[in-house]
């Protein structure tokens, strides 16, 4: 490998890190938005207003087809691009214990207690323990991410073929479907996206090169419109209750590519521009990247603040305008976790350890 190639590789890894933080930032905001609106009539705003909320409901349905796959694909890419595959099993388990298992053990019981008290449900110590063992609400994400990370590490500790790992992941999912075990099927389903992230990592530089060569803004916008059109068409035409979630399988990968190309576009524009408009987009991009940096904190804490804000709004304003409700509760779910993260990240090593962010 030449010195020039090494420099290009290091530059791309630096850029890729920026892209992934930006993608995570957008995706975590979409998670909060989706939870505020509600994925069905018995949850979120849809339950409160007893309505599918027209445009808001449609936006939520669209978000739901790609935002969580995006997280798993981004995590797979991060594993492929930045993880040390030569770690010993002990060091690997120690690392993942700090990053994934500790947040689950610390914050899942607290969230379960908060939710139980908010809904006036009685619970025992065994219920609290079960909330950790069996995926409780949002914490299914950590369960699956631990599984996917562990499976990929064990595989690449013994074998090297990325293509074979993707094929293996798809095969395991097909076997789980045939076995008709829903809980196992869910783990292997989400692992496909993680495996796809590992697979596509080696092609991201080529994708960026082709996209940037096609540098005319009109062409780039048209490319983005194509991906967005596919997302909307699939959400509108594919069944949402099929035994195999074809909708997420397609929209998950398309949605990630949409966000990946958008991140390239934004960051490259900000790097090149020196105008006032460029400074505005730089601030927006930096904010989104900061959300990506704090994505675990937002994920863990947004439910508390959306819940409390919802209660305060309904008690003081009865049933406010849906758009007003949506904006206030969504902002609370994003800004207050960011405030907590920003307050404690330099003051409490224990806090950082509890959310898996300590180094």
Condensed to tens digits (0 to 9), the pLDDT of residues 28-46 reads: 999 999 999 998 888 899 9
* DSSP secondary structure letter of residue 101: I
pLDDT (0 to 100) of residue 318: 80
Mean pLDDT of 327-355: 94
Token pair 């957008």 is found at 26
Q: Is the dihedral of CA 287, 289, 292, 293 positive or negative?
A: negative
Q: Is the pLDDT of residue 1 over 60?
A: no
Instruction: Pick 214 or 251 by higher pLDDT.
Output: 251
CA distances (Å), 40 to each of 134, 137, 178, 240, 309, in order? 22, 15, 28, 12, 20
Write out pLDDT tens, residues 147-189: 999 999 999 998 989 999 999 999 999 999 999 888 899 999 9
Domain count, the chain: 1
Write out pLDDT tens, residues 99-151: 999 999 999 999 999 999 988 899 999 999 999 998 899 999 999 999 999 99
In a domain, residue 2? The reply is: no
In a domain, residue 111? The reply is: yes
In a domain, residue 228? The reply is: yes
pLDDT (0 to 100) of residue 321: 87
pLDDT (0 to 100) of residue 9: 64
- Range with lowest mean pLDDT among 13-22, 174-183, 212-221, 310-319: 212-221
pLDDT (0 to 100) of residue 228: 94
Token pair 């060091």 is found at 91
In a domain, residue 359? The reply is: no
In a domain, residue 168? The reply is: yes
Residues of the chain above pLDDT 90, percent = 64
Q: Is the pLDDT of residue 2 over 90?
A: no
Mean pLDDT of 298-323: 90
At residue 355 the predicted structure's pLDDT band, cuts being 50, 70 and 90, is very high
Q: Is the pLDDT of residue 12 over 80?
A: no
In a domain, residue 155? The reply is: yes
**At a CB cut-off of 8 Å and minimum separation 6, what does 69 contact?**
190, 193, 248, 251, 252, 253, 255, 256
Is 81 within 8 Å of 198 (Cβ atoms)? no
Rounded distance between C-alpha atoms, residue 336 and residue 352, angstroms: 16
In a domain, residue 49? The reply is: yes
For the chain, give the mean pLDDT: 90
In a domain, residue 1? The reply is: no
At residue 340 the predicted structure's pLDDT band, cuts being 50, 70 and 90, is very high
Rounded distance between C-alpha atoms, residue 163 and residue 159, angstroms: 11
pTM over the 0.75 mark: yes
Residues of the chain above pLDDT 70, percent = 95
The domain of 44 spans 7-354
- Range with lowest mean pLDDT among 76-90, 108-122, 244-258: 76-90
At residue 270 the predicted structure's pLDDT band, cuts being 50, 70 and 90, is confident
């Amino acid at each position: 490998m030449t010195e020039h190639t090494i420099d290009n590789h290091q530059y791309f890894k630096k850029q890729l890190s920026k892209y992934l933080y930006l993608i995570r930032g957008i995706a975590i905001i979409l998670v909060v938005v989706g939870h505020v609106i509600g994925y069905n009539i018995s949850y979120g705003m849809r339950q409160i207003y007893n309505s599918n909320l027209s445009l808001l409901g449609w936006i939520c349905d669209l978000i739901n087809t790609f935002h969580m796959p995006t997280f798993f694909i981004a995590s797979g890419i991060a594993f492929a691009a930045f993880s040390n595959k030569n770690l010993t099993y002990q060091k690997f388990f120690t690392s993942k214990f700090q990053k994934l298992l500790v947040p689950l053990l610390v914050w899942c019981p607290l969230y379960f207690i908060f939710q139980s008290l908010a809904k006036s449900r009685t619970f025992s110590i065994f219920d609290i323990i079960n909330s950790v063992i069996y995926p409780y609400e949002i914490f299914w994400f950590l369960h699956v991410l631990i599984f996917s990370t562990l499976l990929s590490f064990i595989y690449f500790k013994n074998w090297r073929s990325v293509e074979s790992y993707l094929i293996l992941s798809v095969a395991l999912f097909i076997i789980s479907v045939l076995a008709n075990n829903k809980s196992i099927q869910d783990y292997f389903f989400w692992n496909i996206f993680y495996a796809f992230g590992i697979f596509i990592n080696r092609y991201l530089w080529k994708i960026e090169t082709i996209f940037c060569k096609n540098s005319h803004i009109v062409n780039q916008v048209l490319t983005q419109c194509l991906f967005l059109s596919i997302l909307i068409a699939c959400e509108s035409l594919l069944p949402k209750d099929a035994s195999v979630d074809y909708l997420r399988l397609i929209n998950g990968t398309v949605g990630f590519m949409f966000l990946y190309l958008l991140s390239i576009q934004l960051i490259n524009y900000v790097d090149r521009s020196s105008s006032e408009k460029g400074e505005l987009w730089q601030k927006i991009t930096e904010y989104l990247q900061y959300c990506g940096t704090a994505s675990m904190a937002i994920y863990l804490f947004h439910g508390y603040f959306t819940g409390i804000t919802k209660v305060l709004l309904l008690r003081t304003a009865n049933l406010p305008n849906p758009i007003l409700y949506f904006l206030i509760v969504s902002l609370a779910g994003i800004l207050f976790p960011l405030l907590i993260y920003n307050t404690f990240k330099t003051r409490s090593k224990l806090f950082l350890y509890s959310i898996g962010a300590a180094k």
